[in-house]
């Protein structure tokens, strides 16, 4: 009898462990405030475990978030799409059905939590319906930021502010499904500048006329890239930026198709014909 109970408990333990296994082999979050757009840009980049697919991934997004874009990588092909967003009693959630064969998931969105013209107080809540075994969170300090402070004592500061962005990386060893991880930081932006605007101002001063040899803008960007990669080995910010640009482009194109060109009536993105005048929306 004891032997039967022991075997049963072993099977139950294995089932629980399997059920709680993360669907990601690797996962990185990145939070870039006031980078190329007012507000905050949030990325999630993960390599998927094939044995976990297909799954439905749900993650909390801020109430201020608008359209959420994403892409699946299947071999050399990148498939961008707009993510479904649902409003629930506890807030807004993004919902993604991940099919078999998807190798990499990238998703991102903008949101603007700022209510003061100068003071920036950001609280970003990470919560998913799937468990995570370990992952990185990287917060980018804006180039124009004053008195930047992040509340998490485990955050590691990396990068050289004189050659690029300063990053703060947090390693989270595990997060259960439904468990929350709060990332809080603050700074001041008295000039109300974006980081890309500061970069544009820095570019003319990159080369040194006296020596005839300077550091090219590409080299500076590569140095920034290297400091990022040393902290989060799986993250490739320039690739992610281009991917998000593609996602945003597809989303805007989809939104524009919803407006009937004949009568200007808004229609569902899935509609092929205008609900008011019957015109073809394709």
State the DSSP string of 162-194: TTS-EEEEEEE--B-TT--EEEEEEEE-TT---
User: For the whole model, what pTM was predicted?
Assistant: 0.73
How does residue 138 score in pLDDT terms, banded at 50, 70 and 90? very high
Greater confidence (220 vs 278) lies with 278
58: β partners: 95
Of 136-140, 179-183, 241-245, which range is least confident?
241-245
Helices then strands, counting H and E runs in the chain, come out as 4, 14
- The residue written with tokens 């993604």 in the block is 96
Six-digit token string for 122:
């950001």
Return the higher-pLDDT residue of 17 and 277: 277
Per residue in 13-56, pLDDT (tens digit) is 444 444 569 999 999 999 999 998 899 999 899 999 999 999 99
Name the CATH architecture for the domain at 21-200.
Sandwich (2.60)
- pLDDT value of position 24: 97
- Does pLDDT of 196 surpass 70? yes
**DSSP state, residue 205:** G
What mean pLDDT, rounded, does the chain reach? 78
Residue 225: pLDDT over 90: no
Give the start-end residues of each E strand in 17-175: 24-33, 40-48, 55-61, 69-74, 77-82, 84-88, 91-98, 104-111, 119-126, 135-141, 146-150, 156-158, 166-172
Q: Which residue has the tokens 């990396």?
A: 158
As a whole number, mean pLDDT of residues 157-185 equals 88
Q: pLDDT tens digits for 88-124? A: 999 999 999 999 999 999 898 999 999 999 999 999 9
Determine contact, residues 87/104, Cβ cutoff 8 Å: no
Which residue, among 34, 50, 26, 80, has the nearest Cα to 190 in the 3D structure? 34
Taking the C-alpha atoms of residue 69 and residue 65, their distance in angstroms, rounded to an integer, is: 11
pLDDT of residue 14: 41
Percent of the chain with pLDDT over 90: 50
**Who has greater pLDDT, 135 or 201?**
135
Q: Which residues pair with 131 in a beta bridge?
A: none
- The predicted-structure confidence for 257-273, as pLDDT tens digits, reads as follows 556 667 666 555 555 66
Assign 231 a pLDDT band (cuts: 50, 70, 90).
very low
What pLDDT does 269 receive?
Answer: 53
Q: Is the pLDDT of residue 142 over 80?
A: yes
CA dist 95 and 107 (Å) reads 11
Name the residue ranges covered by the structural domains of the chain.
Answer: 21-200
Percent of the residues in the chain that have a pLDDT greater than 70, as a whole number: 66
């Amino acid at each position: 009898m004891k032997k039967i109970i022991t075997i049963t408990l072993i099977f139950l333990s294995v089932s629980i462990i399997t059920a709680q296994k993360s669907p990601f082999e690797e996962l990185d979050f990145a939070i870039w405030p006031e980078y190329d757009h007012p507000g905050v840009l949030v990325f999630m980049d993960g390599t998927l475990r094939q044995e976990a697919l297909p799954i439905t991934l749900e993650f909390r997004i801020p109430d201020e978030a608008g359209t959420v874009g994403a892409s699946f990588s299947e071999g050399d092909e990148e498939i961008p799409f707009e993510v479904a967003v649902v409003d629930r009693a506890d807030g807004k959630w993004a919902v993604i059905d991940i099919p078999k064969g998807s190798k990499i998931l990238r998703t991102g969105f903008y949101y603007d939590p700022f209510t003061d013209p100068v003071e920036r107080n950001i609280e970003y809540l990470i919560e998913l319906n799937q468990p995570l075994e370990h992952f990185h969170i990287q917060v980018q300090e804006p180039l124009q930021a004053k008195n930047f402070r992040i509340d998490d004592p485990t955050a590691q500061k990396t990068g050289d502010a004189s050659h690029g962005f300063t990053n703060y990386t947090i390693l989270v060893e595990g997060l259960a499904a439904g468990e929350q991880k709060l990332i809080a930081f603050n700074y001041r932006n008295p000039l109300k500048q974006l980081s890309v605007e500061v970069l544009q101002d820095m570019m003319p001063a990159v080369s040194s006329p006296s020596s005839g040899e300077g550091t090219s803008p590409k080299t500076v960007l590569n140095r920034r890239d290297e400091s990022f990669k040393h902290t989060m080995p799986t993250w490739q910010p320039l690739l992610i930026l281009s991917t998000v640009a593609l996602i945003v482009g597809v989303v805007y194109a989809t939104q524009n198709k919803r407006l009937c060109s004949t009568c200007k009536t808004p229609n569902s993105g899935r509609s092929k014909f205008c609900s008011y005048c019957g015109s073809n929306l394709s």
